[in-house]
Amino acid sequence: MYTENRAEGQLHTSVNETVHTENTSLNRQVYQRLKLALSLGLRRQILFAICDDLNLRNRIATRLHSTLAYPVGKVLYQRANAGELSTPAYPRLVTLRLNTSDPNPIAQINQWLANYPPPMVGGSTDNPGRPLPIPGFQIVGVEMLTKEAVAVQRLFLNYLRLGEKHLLGEESSRFLESSLLFWVSRPWLSAIQQSAPKFWYCRTGVFVFAGEPTPTVDHRVYSDIFTDSGNLARENLEHLVLNEEEISPAIKQIKNENSLTQIPEKSPVQSPPITTNEIFPSLSHINQELQRLVQGTLTTDDSGQIQQILGEIEQLHIQEASGEDLAIAYQNLGNLYRLQIEEGQPTPENLMIAILAYQEAVSHDDSSPQLPDILNDLGTLYWMLHRIPDNSEEAKIYIQQGIDFYKLAIKLITGDIQPETYARIQNNLGTAYGDLARFAEPVENWKSAVVAYHEALSYRQEEIEPLKYAACQNNLGTAYWHLGQYNQPVEHLTKAIAAYKLALVHYQPTDEPLKYGMIQNNIGTAYWNLSQYEQPMENLQLAIQVYTEALKYRTLTDVPHAYAATQNNLGIAYWHLGNQPQTTKEDQQKLVKLCIHAYEKAVSTAHSFSDLPLSFDLWVTHNNLGLANYHLVTDVSFTGDKKMLSEHLEAALENHLQALSGFSKQTENYQITISHIVSTIRTFHNELGIQGQNLALSKLPGHLLPDVLPKL
């Protein structure tokens, strides 16, 4: 019997990226994300930047250094009551080339800090002052180890393994007080993953840049690129304030109760497009990528607002305005496009403009107490963006970007102080990990989702926010269900059922019929899965009971796709219960008839609506329906007459032919279905004679005769 584990019961809710060289805009996005991660100055960050193109790597690393090392106003301090600087500029980012003679990056960092300890600032006669923050470090030149002896290469990996003790134990090293960024090629990434897995496990971010591999060249003058300069552009950080009452749930909070909100198609643009050149002859201070995207979305309907905001941003840049003022202006631009997203236009262009505008705002002011909220919103925007591309690698990169933003936000807050925000971000993080599990490392990512959902539930107060609490419990149940498909099924499925039941308590069927029915469907599927491992009779009966309850609210009129999915699930449960050894022959006939009835409801609904978004394989269900009809009349306990027998055999044959139309000829399903058709025709002959066989053969399409006749 075919079973469709992807039935709606599949409960909707590390990085090995490959990117194409033409994705220049994608490189820009990854750079912005990397710059933000380093700019935040967070402690204990282990970051990896992956780039096979050494020239591109050099340009990006140089840009990071020049942007972040000496931001004016951030590391220059004035003495109290004095107009002169108390200390020379001290870098926020240090670039070190790996010493290939003794490739110990931790020792190099500690040596640098010993040579250049953080200076004390703010001191006075009565106050000794405080040290400046320890800078972040980016390590380049790992690829040069390829030129060295194997022993040296192993020594580098061994040093990383020694670093695991600092990361996982109570030992401390000064580099852990800031960020550490490793620039590596893909071959070296693979070597680190295999030979220093615990060090790789401690990573907090992975950033993949597109580029063709280049031959390893010894750029020994690389370090000369990074010159000390005290007048480079300031790159402070800011976060935009998005009040909950101003933002739709799609952006504010991922409410992933097993089916994510579908992105509406792009609304047609009625007004003719206009270009930024028609508004301003020059916007030289505004990010070119942002300008290009804005230009592609402009219409005469909104050009006035766009003109005003872009003009304000340009003037603020010219006037060298404060970072706070620039952040507010970029926030206004992002809010304008966010509003379009909320109104049903989450196009790639609108999402990217909102992301770039918010990231520009973040790069100009980091003093806002709302920083965790805006990082959460950036994570959600990337989460929405990942659902658009057909390219799975691109989608995986976007969802990883969203996860990184959520993790950055979580690092800045604690649940005890900001419980609502903390719980919301943890819930979103769990949802994002669940989506990432579709692309890579499913077990690891679903485990991470479970951890995130538990964290969220620790700070979601059931009495105060019952629906949010219930939604998170539902998400937790989904994560456990998925884990149960890989290992420890009884334990994980039992936990899934418990979580779903805790969620169900807070959904009244009269007030939330669709959500109530959805969770009942989830419980039924978890019971069905559990029946494959223990107490099959009891668990299948429970599955049938809750599926039947779900159908009271997942109706053909209101949600035909959900109705069809639950009917399909119900058919599977009836079939398995009917085939249990403990089931009597009399009960088996009744259960198979109920199975046929449920499958017929599922397939008729699917064919009654065009483009119905099915969560189960319709052709597999047709095959199941054919097998159920065949089994009913070939069982020794069948007591019907020859007319009934013929009707069920005809139904079996017709459904197998329907299934065959949906399978590719080269697949195993196609060959299995052919064998079902042959068995059905033989039964026609055995039970109804040559007349029955002729009736069966008359229903076969001509192109199938060469496949079927030799097997009769």
Collapsed DSSP state (helix, strand, coil) of residue 129: coil
**Phi, psi values for residue 691, rounded to 5°:** -65, -40
Q: How far apart (Å, rounded) are the C-alpha atoms in residues 294 and 579?
A: 61
Rg of the chain taking only CA atoms, in angstroms: 31
Residue 463: other Cβ atoms inside 10 A: 6
Stretch 663-687: mean pLDDT: 92
The amino acid sitting at 528 is W
**Phi, psi values for residue 4, rounded to 5°:** -110, 95
Stretch 686-711: mean pLDDT: 89
Q: How far apart (Å, rounded) are the C-alpha atoms in residues 569 and 575?
A: 10
3-state helix, strand, coil in the chain (%, to 5): 60, 5, 35
Q: How far apart (Å, rounded) are the C-alpha atoms in residues 524 and 573?
A: 9
Q: Above 50 in pLDDT, residue 694?
A: yes
Calculate the CA 345 to chain-centre distance.
20
Instruction: Give the pLDDT band (50/70/90) at residue 269.
Output: very low
Quick check: 437 and 10 in contact, CB under 8 A?
Answer: no
Residue by residue, DSSP assigns 283-324 as -TTS-HHHHHHHHHH-BTTTHHHHHHHHHHHHHHHHTT--HH
Instruction: Give the pLDDT band (50/70/90) at residue 151.
Output: confident
Give the best-scoring range by mean pLDDT among 29-33, 535-539, 707-711.
535-539
Higher pLDDT, residue 395 or 587: 587
Q: How far apart (Å, rounded) are the C-alpha atoms in residues 673 and 675?
A: 5
The amino acid sitting at 512 is E
**pTM listed for this prediction:** 0.67
In the prediction, which pLDDT does 584 show? 93
Quick check: 372 and 418 in contact, CB under 8 A?
Answer: yes
**Phi, psi values for residue 347, rounded to 5°:** -75, 160
Q: How far apart (Å, rounded) are the C-alpha atoms in residues 578 and 189?
A: 52
Residue with tokens 């449960």: 573
Instruction: Give the pLDDT band (50/70/90) at residue 591.
Output: very high
Collapsed DSSP state (helix, strand, coil) of residue 567: helix
**What are 351-386's pLDDT values in tens digits?**
988 888 888 877 777 667 777 888 888 898 989 988
